[in-house]
Structure 1
Amino acid sequence: MNSTKPTKTPKPSFSGYEVFVIAILAFLQFTVILDFMVMSPLGAMLMPKLKISTHQFGNVVSGYAFSAFVSGILAAGFADKFDRKRLLIFFYIGFLMGTALCAMATDYHFLLIARIVTGLFGGVIGSVSMAIVTDLFRLEVRGRVMGFIQMAFAASQVLGLPIGLFLANHYGWHSPFWLIAIVGVIPGIIIALKMKPVADHLKIRTDHNPIVHMGNTISNRNYLLAFLTTTLLATGGYMLMPFGSAFSVNNLGITNEQLPVLYGISGIFTFVFGPLAGFLGDKLGKYSVFIGGTVLTMAMVAVYTNLGITPLGWVIVINVLMFAGIMARMSTSSALISAIPQAKDRGAFMSVNASVQQLAGGAAAMLAGMVINQGADGKIHHYSTLGIIVMSSMTVVMIMMYFINKQVVHKLAKKPTVAEKAEELAEAFVIE
């Protein structure tokens, strides 16, 4: 089995400005991820408050994902034509406006439209952020960078979800969205004032016509496997997570007051797992760590989706182990896939990659809403069926990531042509 394990080199250090970029992108990702994740614990409140079914709630989650897919595809042709900092600010402003609309929603249709607006802007932010990371950091340290940025996932649990649930329990389900919209202004202002332009990719010749550039990126045979792999990678989170709180409350016997404890403690451990997974991926090989994380996640999914009434302590242990596997998968797969595109296609590749992820996620959430149902007793039925689907997709992804890893190894070992050396030189203009 090939591995992307690097040769022995002195441990690289990050400059002060690089640390700032990692921190501010993580802060920004915190607000975006929290906006998505808060829908899961709020589901137990939203469905009875707005009188919506599990199927309609799946549509709300899918609305964000499908609109994010559309905007990502449309943005792909232009993603390499502008300073990435400006793109990031533009889409982030739109995301905050969409989140504010969610806070104002009064019924199912208003909330659905608000989630669609949020997705149109929020779905592109992740791809622009990843393009910035790939522009500024070498593959040898990218696992660590991805791991730190993925800490936003943990922060959204440790800080965001408990606070959001506390506000929702005391001031209504609208309040967490107001929290995100208000706090989200902070990273936006900091990026606008302090981040340097990220525009060295503009020095590399690309297709002049945005539509041609997008088409060439989508049809590039070297990229298709990555897009397909990302499609399946999205299945797990979008299938299980939107209904996680409803399952915990109605099937496992966890109360709404205990949900912040569950998410908070799981998130504290995830703070450690994110950087650790990235470090191990850089040290031991990203694919090897991805396999270990996938096996652990599959085992915990098999246990979790078949639980009945369970003490809070055991639910916390299972969630902690499951998130450990998820973080290992997220940081290593992101680092590997980020190594696939050429510098001139990076923005477009990341936009398309994020778009197919959102499309797959939207389809998965919609399918999940059709597979499960809520009985008269309030219990969620057929959740274990979702677990089987998720584990099956993870098995296929392990095989696909093997070939992604081989592609990266081949790319790193390949002797560069004169044109590729010129591209590498242009790519080497990283932060000083």
Structure 2
Amino acid sequence: MKQANVTPFSSYQKSVIALLAITQFTIVLDFMVMSPLGDLLMKSLVITPSQFGLVVSSYAFSAGISGLLTAGFADKFDRKRLLLFFYIGFIIGTLFCGLAPTYEALVAARIFTGIFGGVIGSISMAIITDIFSLEQRGRVMGFVQMGFGASQVLGIPISLYLATLWGWQSPFLLIVGFSTVLALIIMQVLKPITQHLELKTERKALAHLIHTITQKHYQTAFLATALLSIGGFMMMPFGSAYAVNNLEVSQQQLPIIFMVSGISSLIVMPMIGRLSDRIEKFNLFAFASVWMVVMVLIYTNLPVVPLWVIIIFNVLMMMGIMSRMVPATTLTSAIPKMQDRGAFMSINSSLQQIAGGIASFVAGLIVVQKDNFSPLQNYDVLGIVVSVVSLSCIYMVYRVNKLAKKTAASAPKEQPV
């Protein structure tokens, strides 16, 4: 899939990229902010670490189930209306989180937020696939996935500052205000996306879901996505605890690691996106995976070292982890037919969420800690497990790459908006 000439974006396409990237920023921030707020939440609501873990995983599992339940309907509506419906639900759920007075109310609010927020990523993917040609999507994915880095650079430090001043609820209320303005802009700027509705299908919602799940070439992409998520999510829940308890990073130094990693993501992701549109996507994924495995094995076996050394290895490791996602996601987007894209992306997103929840649970079984101030044990074992899973992903994405080429060769040429 070598690309001699890079297809430029139209003015409207640039507007869509900006809207989807900022939308992704709000969704990622809502999920990511839970980890650094953990200490404040546990003290304010007087809950145990296991109860806090349920608060985090309840979002992931409800998001996964929601995606499966809505998959059958995803290709039967204007994608703009679908995006707005679920985004408004996400805003309401986040408001409930900010107003939750008890632990039980917060868990219920996170489940509600996950039901709506967990589907937005798949809707965005369907919109990207409809509006942008395959030759443009690597750059689009790079920009949209900058939301992860932006949440670390801007969202998490600001949220922690507000939480210190006005309590753990304030970051959620900030997200609500920002997201409400964004929803109004989406209403005005985004055009209806209905091209897929012209491809008539008589299948009912459940039949459409079953049809999409049972397609063998779709199943290959689903399995690849699940393995990618397992490898990516396993280390995340314990990253801060490992840095503090094993590498002796102070609580004051933690935001520095978040910010530097986030800034590096903002720089690297667009570069990877452009590179993904110019060279063989699978080769880029394979190189990034090997790079990630090497960095994971080094990082999970680090002794106590200066902060700058930790930051360098953290950045290098995150470069590998994030650089795999752009080419893999771009290749996956080439698999479904237009009339199946909404359902395919919903199922794919659901598996991503569920696999992430399972990965966090399994990681909790591997990693042990004698008390809250002791070093984590078996974190190096977790690194080995992540490395094995990541290497197995290379084979699965190789199969996705072959399917993507076959699909691109047989499908009629689509005109990007």
Where does residue 331 of structure 2 map in the other structure?
336
Correspondence for 2:408 among 384, 393, 412: 412
Name the structure 2 match of 1:211: 206
**For 1:278-289, what aligned pairs fall within 5 Å after superposition?**
278-289=273-284
Instruction: Give the C-alpha shift of residue 269 in structure 1.
Output: 1.3
Matched, 1:28 2:23: yes
Unaligned runs of 5+ in 1: none
Matched, 1:245 2:240: yes
277-286 vs 22-31, which moves further: 277-286
CA separation of 1:318/1:105 partners in 2, compared to 1, >3 Å: closer, same or farther?
Answer: farther
Instruction: Write the mapping of 1:380-399 to structure 2, written as runs, cut at 5 A.
Output: 380-399=376-395
How far has the Cα of 1:390 moved from its partner?
1.4
Q: Distance in 1 between matches of 2:312 and 2:175?
A: 28
Counterpart residue identity of residue 187, structure 2 = A
Counterpart among 192, 195, 207 of residue 197 in structure 1? 192
Distance 1:5 1:361 in 2: 32
Q: In the aligned structure 2, how far is the partner of 1:111 from the partner of 1:310?
A: 38
Is 1:130 the counterpart of 2:149? The answer is no
- Contact 2:292–2:321 under 8 Å retained in 1: yes
Q: 1:382 to 1:104 in 2, by over 3 A?
A: farther
Deviations 1:47-66 (A, max 9, x none): 45444444333322221111
CA distance in structure 2 between the aligned counterparts of 1:179 and 1:384, rounded to whole angstroms: 37
1:107 Cα deviation from its structure 2 partner:
4.2
Moved more, 105-114 or 399-408: 105-114
How has the CA–CA distance of structure 1 residues 235 and 52 changed in structure 2, closer, same or farther, with 3 Å as cutoff? farther
Q: Is the 8 A contact 2:28 2:148 kept in 1?
A: yes
**Shift of residue 308 of structure 1?**
4.2
Q: Take 2:387 and 2:51, find their aligned partners in 1: how far apart are those partners?
A: 25
Give the Cα–Cα distance (whole angstroms) in 2 for the partners of residues 107 and 307 of structure 1: 39
1:81 match: secondary structure: coil
SS in 2 for 1:306: coil
The 5-angstrom pairing of residues 33-48 of structure 1 reads 33-48=28-43
Query: Is the contact between residue 72 and residue 343 of structure 2 (CA under 8 Å) also seen in structure 1?
Result: yes
Match of 1:5 in 2: 2
Tell me the distance in 1 between the aligned counterparts of 2:59 and 2:348. Answer: 16
Structure 2 CA distance for aligned equivalents of residues 42 and 361 of structure 1:
20
Shift of 1:253: 2.0
Structure 1 CA distance for aligned equivalents of residues 24 and 127 of structure 2: 13
How many residue pairs are counted as aligned between the two chains?
416
Q: Percent identity?
A: 50
TM-score (norm 2): 0.95
**What is the aligned partner in structure 2 of residue 94 from structure 1?**
89
Alignment match of 2:142 (pick from 147, 152, 166): 147
Which residues of structure 2 form unaligned runs of 5+? none
User: Are the equivalent residues in 2 in contact too, given 1:168–1:174 (CA < 8 A)?
Assistant: yes
Bigger shift: residues 54-63 or 202-211: 54-63
Amino acid corresponding to residue 111 of structure 1 in structure 2? L
- The Cα of 1:115 is off from its aligned counterpart by 1.6
Per-residue Cα deviation, 1:15-47 (whole angstroms, up to 9, x for no partner)? 111100001100000000111111222234434
Deviations 1:319-352 (A, max 9, x none): 2112211221111111000000011100010001
8 Å CA contact 1:55–1:366 kept in 2: the answer is no
- Closer, same or farther in 2 for the Cα pair 1:97/1:306, shift >3 Å? farther
For 1:116 and 1:237, the matched residues in 2 are separated by 22
1:232 and 2:232 are equivalent in the alignment: no
Contact 2:83–2:124, Cα closer than 8 Å, also in 1: yes
Partner of residue 61, structure 1: 56
Aligned to 1:256: 251
